[in-house]
């Protein structure tokens, strides 16, 4: 089943929910970056959280999440769009810790630090940035705290990744439930009880639950507002690499030609490798002239 995201609203319009499956997306991220299991889970949870939050913003924005902890994993940086594209990387993809209470120790790998969420207007202009301390490094709890503190919205966030014994991603997914203005205490308590009783997101994905099924489990009767596919998709391409080379200036390009005969670049977000040969570099020099 292809990865996709669904959105729903309770009949009285007081609680909204989003759910997403990200199994193929996280597996592609693992394959591209060569992550070991703990790093795979940390990156996968953050990619999933970014897609959920991106599903709540305007279409003329993209969302970026940076997790900066003092644990062995280092930085996690991901971004996502409302259309369902996501990409990201971990600074130390070879991180893997012993399990804690039978689960991958993502919190220990992340450590203490800060969570930064940024909404970037696509047409330019100043981004909106919010920074909060990490609660646990487990990602889901940290995102819920961000929403409560920075957006003043009572929220529950669940994100999970199941890693197979061979290191591949067996299942991944998540959900986001938010109380909107006008939500009664009774409604919030009912939804909170459903959230508390629900299996972990990765377990729901392993059982084959679709995002719409997850929302029905969490919200009860609800109106499905729409579904869309999601995928690992990067914005890098040869044109961007060419612009970066031109920005180096004539002297540096000449130096690259003299020393290496070609220019190489690797995208941090997707590990795609680009090679610009000497002939093309000379063409770029002529363009500068």
Could you tell me the CATH number of the domain that includes residue 97? 3.55.30.10
Given a cut of 80, whether residue 288 has pLDDT beyond it is: no
If asked whether residues 148 and 113 sit together in one domain, one would say: yes
Across residues 178-182, what is the average pLDDT?
89
Checking if the pLDDT of 192 tops 80, the result is yes
Q: Above 70 in pLDDT, residue 242? A: yes
Kindly indicate the confidence band of residue 168, based on its pLDDT and cuts at 50, 70 and 90. very high
CATH number, position 268: 3.90.1280.10
Percent of the chain with pLDDT over 90: 71
Task: State whether 69 and 92 are in the same domain.
Answer: yes
Say whether both 67 and 139 belong to one domain: yes
- 79 and 126 part of one domain: yes
| Sequential DSSP letters for the chain | ---EEEEEE-TTSSEEEEEEE-HHHHHHHHHHHT--HHHHHHHHHHHHHHHHHHTTS-TTEEEEEEEEESSTT-EEEEEE-TTSEEEEEES-TT-----BTTB--HHHHH-SEEEEEEEEETT-SPPEEEEEE-SSSSSHHHHHHHHHHHS---EEEEEEEEEPTTSSEEEEEEEEEEEPTT--HHHHHHHHHHHHHSPPHHHHHHTT--HHHHHHHHHSS-EEEEEEE-EE-----HHHHHHHHHHH-HHHHHHHHHHTSEEEEE-TTT--EEEEEHHHHHHHHHHH-
**Tally of domains in the chain:** 2
Last residue of a domain, one of 188, 206, 232: 232
Do residue 246 and residue 223 come from a single domain? no
Q: Which tokens is 251 given?
A: 């002297």
Residue 167 has pLDDT above 90, yes or no: yes
The residue range of the domain holding 254 is: 238-288
**Is 289 a residue whose pLDDT tops 70?**
no
In this prediction, residues 183-202 reach a mean pLDDT of 91
> Per residue in 26-42, pLDDT tens?
999 999 999 999 999 99
């Amino acid at each position: 089943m292809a990865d996709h995201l669904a959105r729903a609203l309770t009949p009285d319009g007081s609680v909204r929910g989003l759910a997403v499956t990200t199994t193929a997306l996280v597996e592609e991220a693992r394959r591209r970056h060569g992550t070991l299991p703990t790093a795979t889970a940390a990156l996968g949870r953050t990619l999933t959280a970014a897609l959920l939050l991106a599903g709540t913003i305007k279409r003329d924005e993209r969302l970026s999440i940076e997790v900066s902890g003092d644990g062995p994993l280092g930085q996690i940086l991901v971004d996502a769009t409302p259309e369902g594209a996501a990409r990201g990387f971990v600074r130390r993809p070879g991180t893997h810790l012993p399990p804690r209470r039978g689960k991958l120790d993502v919190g220990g790998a992340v450590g203490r630090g800060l969570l930064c969420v940024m909404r970037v207007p696509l047409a330019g202009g100043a981004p909106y940035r919010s920074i909060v301390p990490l609660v646990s490094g487990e990602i889901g709890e940290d995102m819920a705290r961000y929403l409560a503190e920075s957006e003043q919205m009572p929220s529950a966030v669940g994100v999970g990744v199941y890693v197979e014994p061979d290191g591949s991603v067996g299942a991944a997914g998540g959900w986001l439930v938010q109380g909107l203005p006008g939500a009664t205490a009774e409604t919030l308590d009912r939804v909170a009880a459903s959230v508390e009783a629900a299996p972990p997101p990765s377990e729901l994905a392993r059982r084959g639950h679709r995002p719409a099924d997850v929302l029905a489990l969490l919200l009860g009767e609800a109106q499905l507002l729409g579904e869309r596919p999601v995928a690992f998709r990067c914005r890098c391409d040869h044109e961007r690499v060419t612009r970066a080379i031109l920005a180096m200036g004539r002297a540096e390009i000449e130096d690259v030609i003299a020393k290496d005969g070609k220019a190489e670049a690797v995208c941090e977000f997707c590990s795609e490798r680009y090679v610009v040969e000497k002939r093309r570099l000379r063409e770029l020099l002529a363009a500068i002239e």
